[in-house]
Amino acid sequence: MLVRQLTCRTSLLNMNRARVCPNMARPSSDMAEFRQSFSTAQSIVIITGAGVSAESGVPTFRGAGGYWRKWQAQSLATPEAFSRNPSRVWEFYHYRREVMLTKRPNPAHLAIAACEERLGKQGRKVTVITQNIDELHRRAGSRNVLQIHGSLFQTRCLTCAHQEDNYQSPICGALQGKGAPDPDTEEAPIPVEQLPRCDQSGCRGLLRPAVVWFGEALDSDVLARAEKELDSCDLCLVVGTSSVVYPAAMFAPQVASRGVPVAEFNLEDTPATRRFRFHFLGPCGTTLPAALARHPTEPDSPPPHLSAVLTCPLSSRVRCPHVSAVLTCPRSSPVRGPHLSAVLTCPLSSPVRGPHLSAVLTCPLSSPVRGPHLSAVLTCPRSSPVRCPHLSAVLTCLLQSPVPVNQSSAAP
């Protein structure tokens, strides 16, 4: 079992390095061998880090580029920094929130979401344990996600401890136009009473980002759920993580110590690489889709399973990037290819003020299917106004050839 008292303070895996013999053989990079393990696994845990989202253009704030203005980003992600200067910290997180509203899930996120949906229909399980706070896994369609470091789009009240989703852009009027990362930006502190405030009845307490800062303990409930999945999985993937941040750095080695296959997908070796059975070098957006694609031994899936991603191509204000979309197929008989009509609607009636969102729907099936009678529903978890209900839709199918049909039953 993991030690719950561990915090997210960055620390090198000195103990693990000491235990690993320098002459230990490198892990296998045989994809066919990994795919064999994948084909029989019933409970798969996928641990993801900043490297996954970096391919979506999300700043990692690590290494030489880890600065916002003249401050090292990690120095702003502490309770002490927020206590000293809540205005500066909120500007930093406002900048990150606004950047994230312009990003979209990449092929690695989509492959994980498609795998979870496909295997779920077979009675198999995929759990994502992510260190990322950007919610790109959820936006890609993943449902079984444990965000061990919290979310950029959640807030917690320092007075009443109420926690909730918040996708407002900006989160408060005083942050409008703030957060520029240029080191020459002149700092103009925002009065604390104008910073984000709790809207619970009679509270009005100061809000903070609901993320785990350096020096803070992880949420015990989330950590307990992660422990349970790690203790019961029969395959583990470590994707885009440096393996230096505790306690996530010990998750995969703990699984490997049980004799369970662990596969690392990264651009380089990490301190834990030689503890794993598999290691695949390269961009996660290239290596992961191939690793998680439908295995020939899997049963045919009913057509077609679409994953939906809503993205905002603009950097303007958006109160909520999650809107509702309904897609239907106008054909009632087998047809060649996904001839879809899309009806995109917003369940709210608020005035349009912001950018036009686009809905991108992709089909993860790679084998021919009959009659794409498709429907996908995206729902909005918020009841607050959405600034842009006018959406455009882009529909794509990953099928590589026309769908073979029985000519006698084909539509004219």
Residues annotated within the binding site for NAD(+) are: 49-68, 131-134, 240-242, 266-268, 284
The C-alpha atoms of residue 220 and residue 216 are separated, in whole angstroms, by: 11
- CA-to-CA dists, residue 280 to 28, 90, 112, 132, 309, angstroms: 8, 38, 16, 21, 27
Q: Which two tokens stand for residue 123?
A: 């009675």
> Residues 47, 130, 246, 75: what is their CA dihedral angle, to the nearest 10 degrees?
140
CA-based torsion, 73, 132, 238, 146: positive or negative: positive
The C-alpha atoms of residue 356 and residue 376 are separated, in whole angstroms, by: 20
CA-based torsion, 141, 107, 328, 300: positive or negative: negative
Cβ(105)–Cβ(53) below 8 Å:
no
Question: Which amino acid is residue 29, in one-letter code?
Answer: S
Name which of 371, 392, 365 is nearest 114 in CA terms.
Answer: 365
Return binding residues for substrate.
93, 96
- CA-to-CA dists, residue 140 to 56, 310, 398, angstroms: 12, 8, 16
Q: Which of 94, 137, 149, 305 is catalytic?
A: 149
CB atoms within 10 A of CB 35: 16
Is 94 labeled as catalytic in the residue annotation? Answer: no
Return binding residues for Zn(2+).
157, 160, 198, 203
Residue 331: partners with Cβ closer than 8 Å, 6 or more residues away: 339, 371, 373, 411
Q: What's the farthest any 2 CA atoms get from each other in the chain?
A: 74
* Catalytic site positions: 149
